[in-house]
Structure 1
Amino acid sequence: MDIYQFNKEVGKKVEKFNSDFIMSHIIQTQKPSRIGCMYLEKNGIIGYHEAVVPQLLLVVNGEGKVRGEKEEFVHVKNGDAVFWEKGEWHETRTDTGLTAIVIESKELNPASCMPLAEKKRI
């Protein structure tokens, strides 16, 4: 499990076309991808399961904790992106609620667009 960051602080200012915003790139794929949004309520859980393809979980609201195959949970919050390889067992939990975008594809390389968080590889 790797944890990356896509918050405003790691983005780049865009001024092209008279624009004024910050862009945090997340992923670029050549193969088909499935993108969804998950809403976990208070005490919500995405149960312990095996990733059938590489998965990237982008926390956009709230906070929670994630784990890979080790039983050690790591705190995540908005702006964190959690990456699991195909075949990696994992789980996500929240006490207060969490909203996340999930990207699944046979080809995901988040390191090509996002910096690794201080937590790095877990």
Structure 2
Amino acid sequence: MEFYSFNKENGKQITKFNSNFVMSRIIQTDEAAHIGCMYLDKNGLVGYHQAVVPQLLLVLNGEGHVRGENDEYVRVQSGDAVFWAKGEWHETKSETGLTAIVIESDGLNPSAFMKLK
């Protein structure tokens, strides 16, 4: 399990085409990818299971806890990204609610774009 940050402070100011915004790069893949938005309500749980393919969890809002193959939970919040390798056991839960983007693909390499947290 690896932790990354995609918050505004890790982004780059874009001014091309008279633009004025910050872009935090997350991932690029040449492999097929499944991308979804996950909503955990109060006391929501993604049960303990093995990742079928490499998986990247991007917390958009709310907060929760994740764990890998040990019983130690780590708090995650908006701007945090968690990466699990193929076959890695993991779980996500939230007492208050959490919204996240989930990207699953054999071609994930988050360290190419995001800084480790």
Q: TM-score range by the shorter chain?
A: over 0.9
Supply the distance in 2 between the matched residues of 1:44 and 1:63 (Cα, whole angstroms): 11
Query: How far apart, in 1, do the equivalents of 2:3 and 2:12 lie?
Result: 20
1:28 maps to: 28
How big is each residue's C-alpha offset from its partner over 1:7-54, in whole Å with a ceiling of 9 and x where there is no partner? 001000000010000000000001110000000000000000000000
| Length-normalised TM-score, structure 2 | 0.99
TM-score by length of 1: 0.95
* Percent of residue pairs bearing the same amino acid type: 68
Structure 2 unaligned blocks of 5 or more: none
Q: Which consecutive segments of 4 or more residues in structure 1 shift more than 6 A?
A: none
Q: CA RMSD in A?
A: 0.3
Does 1:102 find its partner at 2:102?
Answer: yes
Aligned to 1:90: 90
Deviation of 1:107 after TM superposition, in Å, equals: 1.0
| 1:37 and 2:37 are equivalent in the alignment | yes
Distance 1:20 1:61 in 2: 23
What is the match of residue 71 of structure 1?
71
